[in-house]
Structure 1
């Protein structure tokens, strides 16, 4: 299963890691962004441990409106290079199910 932002769906790939369905449910409940409890991304970069890397598109998201998230159920996926970064892709395959995690579309329309 992949948890994907609305902007990831047309591209059929995401830099987010694949998850077991139980872990995806926990993530949806625990993460305020994925769970739809935030309406904007933070406007400043988070303090990271020296062993951590920022997400590839973190700078572009700073201060932007939060996107809806979707759970994409798959029989399989491939790890690809997308804009120089590792990504999970289901291009060329049909998802088993796409379910909205957040129902509202804050500040998008």
Structure 2
């Protein structure tokens, strides 16, 4: 998989293995970042203060959400919004969203509980299909299933939906 060029607005973010570390990613006590694990405080702050989950900067008029099919059906996003340019980068750079991974990675023993998967339901399970949703606003809520911060997308604010390539099937 070729390295995705990093857009100028993301060049202030740390990188690991050529990938931008999203602002909401957990940083371990030893300084390493744990891709796929979400910092609970940053998650909450991003939803409440309308910050981009990738760059950590203030959002303005257009919000883009990456949503699994199960969340899309409810119009509830368990991950904060992104700027359009940060979303474009994520769709090509993030192996999970881009469909390059068929399964979630197994939880490492030193990884903290992730605010994005509070019940530990994803490690080792089949990857989900993702969509991007463009919206002009959202309501901060608690996901009724996980009781974690989330964004509820009012249908009247929905501008566009884009299906992202489904996970590559196992061979």
TM-score, normalised on structure 1? Answer: 0.81
Structure number with greater Rg is 2
Give structure 1 stretches of 5+ with no counterpart: none
1:71 match: 132
2:73 match: 10
Give structure 2 stretches of 5+ with no counterpart: 1-63
Q: Which runs of 4+ in 1 moved over 2 A?
A: 43-48, 91-94, 103-107
TM-score, normalised on structure 2? Answer: 0.54
Contact in 2 for aligned 1:2/1:19 (Cα 8 Å):
yes
Q: Secondary structure at 1:37's aligned position in 2?
A: coil
Q: Which has the higher contact order (CA 8 A, sep 6+)?
A: 1
The Cα of 1:93 is off from its aligned counterpart by 3.0
Q: CA RMSD in A?
A: 2.3
Contact in 2 for aligned 1:56/1:85 (Cα 8 Å):
no
- The verdict on how the C-alpha distance between 1:106 and 1:93 changes in structure 2, with shifts beyond 3 A counting, is farther
